[in-house]
Structure 1
Amino acid sequence: MDAHLLRTFVAVTRCGSFSRAADELGYTQSAVSQHIAALESDLGTPLLSRRPVQPTAAGRRLLEHAGPILVRLAAARAEITRMTQAPPDRLVVGVSPLAFVPEVVGANHVRVLPRVEVVTGVAQGTLDLGLVDGITAPSDPLNLPDVAPLAKAGVAERPLAVVLPADHPLAGRKHVKLADLADAQWIDAPESAIPLAQLRAASGTTGFRAALRYEGTHVPGLLEMATAGHGLALLPQTMVGGLPAVPVTRLVHRVERLTMPTQPGSGRSGVR
């Protein structure tokens, strides 16, 4: 399967248009149509319906494979490039919003990114180093997307706390189990708090219904929404300050450092 054809297919499905995909890729619309036709011929089945442009059942299944395949190809290219070229003067570090650990890097360019973009950025070579966070049992590694053979190391583990209004029935409790909060209403803030999907996975329960969607990485705004009663939010206890919050037992907020596997002569200054 030709990676160029696969990349065109992904662009068409994302754009929902052959012409917009052509503009994005720098091809003619005729070339895009030829790429899709060649890919469909290779696989022996239609991948896109044309009016409107959307993936068929086979196309949707191919999309599930396409993302990891293209990331792996980019990761392979990035790793070979790192082996054969001198390290750049600039150290670019990608950080997920709750993963700031300033003492572990000597960066001169920091990008705050969604968690999955930190992982793929390190794999593809657009980031020299990544700091990514999540919740685990103490000393357990994070469950990260398997996009490339990355080197991973834990750099911090912090207590977690549920932020809530001062008059909430749980306010004043010494601690709480996460599973006991599955039926509560939560703020769905995937980039400025622990994502609800991680809460379900960590607690082994369903629930954690979202009362409000909060998009962005502005943590102070999220804290105000939670203390005003719009829903609960789970954050590292160090970020809560003096706001009403209840510590969570048996789970920690973990930060891991991600790099490409170390190659001879590829050490980077400023990374400890």
Structure 2
Amino acid sequence: MDPHLLRTFVTVAETGSFSAAAERLGYTQSAISQQVAALETDLGLPLLHRRPVTPTEAGLRLLEHAGPLLLRIRAARADVLRTAALPAHRLTLAATPLALNSVLAVRLAAARAAQPRLRVTVRTCGRDEVARQVADGTAEASLADGITAPNDPLRLPDVGPLTTVGVAEEGLVVALPGDHPLAGRTGLRLADLVDAHWLQTTLCPLERLRDLLGDGFRPALDYTGDDVHTVLNLVAAGHGLTLLPASAASGVPLVSPRLVHRVELLHGSLPPGPAADLAARLSP
């Protein structure tokens, strides 16, 4: 299967239009039609309905595979190019919203102080995206965070051969309103909060808590952003509870089960230079 044709098919499916796909990819509409037709001939199945332009059942199935396939191709290209990359004084660090905690911010400052000419761009995005950005070469390194048992690795998408190193772990607190009946406790058990109202956030996905303790953890409100101050304002107003790393918020320490907020550094092969030095300084 030609990846060039696959990318064209995905673009048509995403835009819902041959002309829009042609504009995005820089081809004529006729060329786009020919590429999709060539892919359909190769597979022996129609992939798109033409009026309106929507995926067929076979097209939907192919779309499920297309994203990971195209990502692995980009990852392979980026991995090969990294082996010949010349040292540079600019690099991009992708990070999930809570990954760059105070400890790692200090390590980043030390790395920059050791390399005065180094210019670092920090880009915030979701956990799956930080892995993809390193895999396809958009970022030289990334920091991902999540809730795990002590010393357990994070669950990250398989995007290719990446090095993953645990760089920080800290305790979790239950963030709750100041007038909440449990606010004065010295510690809380997650099992006692199964029936409480929770915030559903990207910072603390409730699916992770259900994985640990089963049913419960009903969302009282969904917040799709990643701003910690907004989450704390929602908590303070009584919209629900959430778990946060101790360095990000005040709250009652979680004492059971034993869980931590873990941060991992992800990178591909790094030739000697600023990126490799930064990775070394961010590691414990």
Q: TM-score, normalised by structure 2?
A: 0.86
Q: Does 1:76 align with 2:66?
A: no
Q: Does 1:230 align with 2:233?
A: no
- CA distance in 2: counterparts of 1:161 and 1:50, whole angstroms: 53
Q: Residues 209 and 35 (structure 1 numbering): CA distance in 2 closer, same or farther, change over 3 Å?
A: farther
Instruction: Tell me what 1:58 maps to.
Output: 58
Bigger shift: residues 208-217 or 229-238: 208-217
**Which one-letter code corresponds to 2:146 in the other structure?**
G
* Residue from 168, 171, 174 that aligns with 1:156: 168
- CA distance in 2: counterparts of 1:60 and 1:227, whole angstroms: 44
Secondary structure class of the residue paired with 1:21: helix
How many residues matched? Answer: 266
Q: Residues 92 and 37 (structure 1 numbering): CA distance in 2 closer, same or farther, change over 3 Å?
A: same
Q: Residues 18 and 259 (structure 1 numbering): CA distance in 2 closer, same or farther, change over 3 Å?
A: same
Q: Does 1:166 align with 2:178?
A: yes
User: CA contact under 8 A between 2:200 and 2:206: conserved in structure 1?
Assistant: yes
User: CA contact under 8 A between 2:150 and 2:260: conserved in structure 1?
Assistant: yes
Q: What is the Cα-based RMSD across aligned positions, in Å?
A: 2.0
Q: Residues 23 and 259 (structure 1 numbering): CA distance in 2 closer, same or farther, change over 3 Å?
A: same
Q: Residues 245 and 175 (structure 1 numbering): CA distance in 2 closer, same or farther, change over 3 Å?
A: closer
**Which one-letter code corresponds to 1:102 in the other structure?**
A
Shift of 1:80: 0.9
Instruction: Tell me what 1:31 maps to.
Output: 31
Shift of 1:152: 0.4
The correspondence of residues 199-238 of structure 1 with structure 2, limited to 5 A, is 199-201=209-211, 203-238=212-247
1:120-162 Cα offsets, whole Å, 9 max, x none, are 0011111111000011110101110001110000000111122
- CA distance in 2: counterparts of 1:46 and 1:37, whole angstroms: 8
1:60-93 Cα offsets, whole Å, 9 max, x none, are 2212211111111111111111112213221211
Shift of 1:179: 4.5
**Which one-letter code corresponds to 2:254 in the other structure?**
P
Secondary structure class of the residue paired with 2:94: strand
Secondary structure class of the residue paired with 2:54: strand
Q: TM-score, normalised by structure 1?
A: 0.89
User: CA contact under 8 A between 1:104 and 1:271: conserved in structure 2?
Assistant: no
Q: Does 1:194 align with 2:204?
A: yes
The correspondence of residues 31-180 of structure 1 with structure 2, limited to 5 A, is 31-100=31-100, 101-105=104-108, 106=111, 108-180=120-192
* Runs (5+) with no aligned partner, structure 2: 113-119
- CA distance in 2: counterparts of 1:6 and 1:181, whole angstroms: 47
Shift of 1:188: 2.1
Bigger shift: residues 139-148 or 155-164: 155-164
Secondary structure class of the residue paired with 2:276: coil
**Which one-letter code corresponds to 1:220 in the other structure?**
H
Shift of 1:117: 1.4
Q: Does 1:268 align with 2:280?
A: no
Shift of 1:22: 1.7
Secondary structure class of the residue paired with 1:255: strand
User: CA contact under 8 A between 1:179 and 1:205: conserved in structure 2?
Assistant: no
* Runs (5+) with no aligned partner, structure 1: none
